Structure 1
């Protein structure tokens, strides 16, 4: 009976050990470098990374990323989609600066400056030379090409245009498109299927009417 009890306890211990979240096994450092062969460190301070190679860690503070992928990024045949929440590779809280950008971040909260940006959620302020693609986009986001999101709140500015499934706030670009808009679209061409707000542009279309200059 005692042997059975010991075996049962041993089984529970092994099961508990392997069921622990990998995040609890990580070290937290003030200065860290990525990528690493082993489990990457969480950071409260400064992280310096080469390539977009994260391993699910959390970075609180300053993240500096060097990435030569920007050279081939304009040659990609189609845009990189925003990752699903469970597939995100990193959470960054603070300041993120990259010579290229992230392709599958879970969350970026704070201030980000990069060439391109792809994350599940982006909250705060971001400036990107190419585009910003996030499932959730909250705050002020400025992109040279486009901002794309499922749910957005705040101000989106892009030279070519902005697209959102549901958007509350202001979209500014040559072309603005939202399935459900509460706020303002300001551009050359504006389109939404459902709107509570105002459209100002050369041609404006919503679920009720199409008008030049101003639509409501």
Structure 2
């Protein structure tokens, strides 16, 4: 009887140690790391530096995708950033969140689809997943969900926008906040549109511009 108890205890201890070892291998936090992050790193508390993040380096454990996290500063120096902006089609990429960054991002390129951010990000473009905070891009922003303040020279597109977007072209499927630009559009809006042309299929709020159209009426200057 005692031998059986000892054997059972030994097996439990071995399984516990193995589980802890597997967890440590996957949840390997680093202070400094190069990007793209490899599969052995699931968290960085400090600095990441390199070419940017890539979904092919998703951390996996038993065929389950784990979210990699960066807490701190991310710097990207990808010299091909302008080519990514010209050739990348976010509609063709997977809609799976695989990286979450908390802090400051400064990039000579930008986020691809699947990257979420909490904080401040400055880049050429932003094709990320969920953005919470402030995002400034030189070219375009094309994201799933935006909560905060978004500025782009050419365009801001989001499926869900909660906050403020400022650009030549602003487009949101669901908008809760303010759109400011040359051409503003949304399917379901609550808030305000300020621009040359404002369009909304369903709006609870105010439109100020040269021409304004919502689900009820079309008017110049002011519409509601």
Quick check: TM above 0.5? yes
Task: Tell me which residue corresponds to 2:32.
Answer: 31
Distance 1:117 1:65 in 2: 13
* Displacement after TM superposition at 1:36 (Å): 5.2
Given candidates 157, 163, 176, the residue that maps to 1:168 is 176
Task: Tell me which residue corresponds to 2:45.
Answer: 44
Summarize the alignment of residues 186-205 of structure 1 with structure 2, pairs less than 5 Å apart: 186-205=194-213
Distance 1:164 1:184 in 2: 13
Matched, 1:64 2:75: yes
Matched, 1:208 2:207: no
Matched, 1:75 2:86: yes
| TM-score, normalization by structure 2 | 0.80
| TM-score, normalization by structure 1 | 0.83
Change (3 A) 1:88 1:170: same
Equivalent residues of 1:32, 1:41 under 8 A apart:
no
The gaps in structure 2 that reach 5 residues or longer are 59-66
Distance 1:210 1:74 in 2: 35
Given candidates 111, 130, 137, the residue that maps to 1:102 is 111
Secondary structure of 1:71's partner?
A: helix
Q: Deviations over 1:111-141 (max 9, x none)?
A: 0000001111001000001111111101000
Secondary structure of 2:90's partner?
A: coil
Secondary structure of 2:80's partner?
A: helix
Secondary structure of 2:130's partner?
A: strand
Task: Tell me which residue corresponds to 2:62.
Answer: none
* Displacement after TM superposition at 1:23 (Å): 8.6
Distance 2:143 2:219 in 1: 30
Distance 1:123 1:38 in 2: 26
Equivalent residues of 1:52, 1:67 under 8 A apart:
no
* Displacement after TM superposition at 1:162 (Å): 0.8
Q: Deviations over 1:34-60 (max 9, x none)?
A: 235552351111111224335342000
Equivalent residues of 2:26, 2:41 under 8 A apart:
no
Change (3 A) 1:171 1:79: farther
RMSD across aligned C-alpha pairs, in angstroms? 2.7
Q: Deviations over 1:158-191 (max 9, x none)?
A: 12x1111111111011110011111110111110
Q: Deviations over 1:7-38 (max 9, x none)?
A: xx79xx5xx95xx7x79713111211123555
Task: Tell me which residue corresponds to 2:151.
Answer: 142
The gaps in structure 1 that reach 5 residues or longer are none
Secondary structure of 1:40's partner?
A: coil
